[in-house]
Amino acid sequence: MNQKYKDEIVHREFVRKEYDRLSNIVGIFKLILAAMFAYTIYNAWINHFPMKLTILLLAKAFIFVITHIYHKKLFERVAYEKGLIDIAEKNLCRISGEWRAFDDIGEEFIDYNQSYAMDLDIVGKCSLFQFLNSTNTHYGRLRFAQDLLKPEYLHQDIKMRQEAVSELSNDYSWCSHLEYCFSKIGIDKSFPVLISELQNKNRFIKSKALRVLFDILRVITCGSIFFSIITKNRYSVLLTLILITFQLILWGVGFLKANRYVGVMREIPYKIIKYDEVIKEIKNKELCSYRLKELQSIILSSKEAIHDLSKISSNISQRQNGIACLILNAVWLWDYKNAVDLDIWKQKYGDSVDGWFSSIGELESLLSLVNLPRNCTGTCLPEISTRFNTIQSKGLGHPLLNNENRVCNDLDLNNNILIISGSNMSGKTTFMRTVGINMVLAQTGSYVCADRMRFSMMKVMTSMRTVDALTEGVSTFYAEIKRIKDIIDYSQVNENLLFLIDEIFRGTNSVDRLKGAEEVLQKLCKLGVCGIITTHDLEVCKLEDTYPRIKNYCFYERYSGNDIIFDYKMKNGVSKTTNAQYLLRKVGIIE
């Protein structure tokens, strides 16, 4: 894909320059045309607008309008090519490792009390969210974060999502095009408020008779204006002035109410219109997988409603111009009309609006998951196992490591508890995070970073990066105790659990650490859950002799002269090496 992105950038840059050049030519032509138009107006003026010059003036005006529309389309095409170049460049950053500079880290989703998010780098700086996220709307971003933090899908749901992700991964052209369309909408924090208002079915005018009366009044006023212009009768002019004054008084009386009712619709008319464009693109695409067809059907059911809402939104935005607002309300009770139109829309579509935008958000989330197989080597769609508490994988790697630096391992976790011992920096913790992050991906219906993988559905709970809370008087050790207690409590009510505990009870003395680790492992083993712990206490590894479900694995290093060499490969058994004294000597702490 690396070369494909580079070829895409070269091609799009060439096309962009061609359209840019054409746009400059059309711009110069417009200036010349404007000058000719001005000269023709002057010439027609001094000659009292003869028929010949009038026709020429109209012809030039028509040509100018057509040229302006064409020029606008050229600008849009230049922006489109730039947008696709940006998308390809971001994907190159994902491959090279420069994605760590992406701005959106999902900061508001950071929650240190979540069962695995911070330990497995799901959100935050240098996280899975930062790496994969390509959402550009509020609902898309929210859904993607939810998929990573709460992947509560059933077996069949995961299969359907896998089919959808697989189909999308084979169509880079359409996916990048759709991503660009979403980027024109953008993330607006007021959007949830808009959805809430659209779901609120409180009527603007409860009386149907009153709404009809306002409609009749508008028609009479407009008819009176037209009649006055045609006849120039002073009584009809007087009646028109009375009607206009009456409508202005009505507008003034209901101004605040109408203003509150249309609410946030005043702020985001262009975003609604852009959704209209997205729906059009989705409509024109032939999709195959069941879930994508479902989403397409739900989204297309909103086509008429979103189109109507975009028109209402556009009408509401017209009131931003003070003079236009005054004229429109004097003639057509514009604010009342827009509020009533929005009222009618709410009654008709309010119950469905959340489902429409949620479906669009899910599609965006799937587009983000597709970034994994495109930019990470050695990926596959995992198979869901019917066996209990199982993870079997070949070539399991960490997706956030660069492709050329990633070291993969095999894993056979068959309702076992693995104790992983090893030296400092040998790869124990990274391997445990590798298992956890791939399990999260698997349960979202995504690809995983592995050659092959089979897994059973399990809740993931971790105790790795426990932090103290000074304001609550909680030490690091006590924070770790609380996390492990949560794991034990959950194990007592549900055996479908994968726990990951790094350097168990590192915050206390060696005697208490060993005693605590043995007690925890005995409890978890009896409760029937599976998981992995890492430890430096080789005494803990002796529990394998007592509990058949416990298995020992290790990581270790080798030495070449004064150099320490890690291969980051997991081996059977207990670690036979330590490197703490070597590292202390290397930095000069001990001789």
Residue pLDDT, tens place only, 94-123: 999 999 999 999 999 999 889 999 999 999
Give the separation between CA 154 and CA 514, rounded to whole angstroms: 39
pLDDT range class, residue 189, cuts 50, 70, 90:
confident
Count of beta carbons in the 10 Å neighbourhood of residue 155? 10
Strand partners, 559: 564
Inter-residue contact 450 to 377 (CB < 8 Å): no
pLDDT range class, residue 311, cuts 50, 70, 90:
confident
Element (H, E) at 462: strand 459-463
In the numeric block, the tokens 């030519």 are attached to: 25
Residue pLDDT, tens place only, 335-365: 899 999 999 999 999 999 989 999 999 999 9
Whether the pLDDT of residue 576 is over 50: the answer is yes
Residue 468 is predicted with a pLDDT of 52
Residue pLDDT, tens place only, 352-411: 998 999 999 999 999 999 999 999 999 999 999 989 899 999 999 999 999 998 999 999
Element (H, E) at 455: strand 452-455
* Ranges of each domain in the chain: 1-98, 191-356, 376-586
Residue 235 is predicted with a pLDDT of 84
Q: Specify the fold of 376-586.
A: Rossmann fold (3.40.50)
Structure letter (DSSP) for residue 472 = G
Whether the pLDDT of residue 500 is over 90: the answer is yes
**1 or 127: which leads in pLDDT:** 127
Residue 81 is predicted with a pLDDT of 96
Q: Token digits for 557?
A: 């290093």
Q: Token digits for 476?
A: 């690091």
Residue 138 is predicted with a pLDDT of 92
Strand partners, 498: 460, 530
**570 or 48: which leads in pLDDT:** 570
**380 or 55: which leads in pLDDT:** 380
Strand partners, 534: 420
Least confidently predicted of 79-88, 231-240, 446-455 = 231-240
Q: Token digits for 510?
A: 């060696």
pLDDT range class, residue 124, cuts 50, 70, 90:
very high
Whether the pLDDT of residue 469 is over 60: the answer is no
Least confidently predicted of 103-117, 164-178, 416-430, 439-453 = 416-430
Mean pLDDT of the chain: 88
Residue 305 is predicted with a pLDDT of 92
Phi, psi of 294 (to 5 degrees): -60, -50
Helical residues (DSSP H) of 370-456, grouped into ranges? 371-375, 428-444
Contact partners, residue 472, CB within 8 Å, separation at least 6: none
Q: Token digits for 8?
A: 């895409």
Give the separation between CA 38 and CA 17, rounded to whole angstroms: 32
SS3 219: helix
Residue 472 is predicted with a pLDDT of 46
Angle at the Cα of 58 (from 52 to 60), degrees rounded to 5?
A: 100
Residue 40 is predicted with a pLDDT of 84
Distances (CA, A) of 252 to 206, 227, 246, 256, 440: 19, 26, 10, 8, 57
Q: Token digits for 135?
A: 């959402």
Which amino acid is it at 283? K
In the numeric block, the tokens 């930019």 are attached to: 375
Q: How many percent of the chain have pLDDT more than 90?
A: 56
Whether the pLDDT of residue 509 is over 80: the answer is no
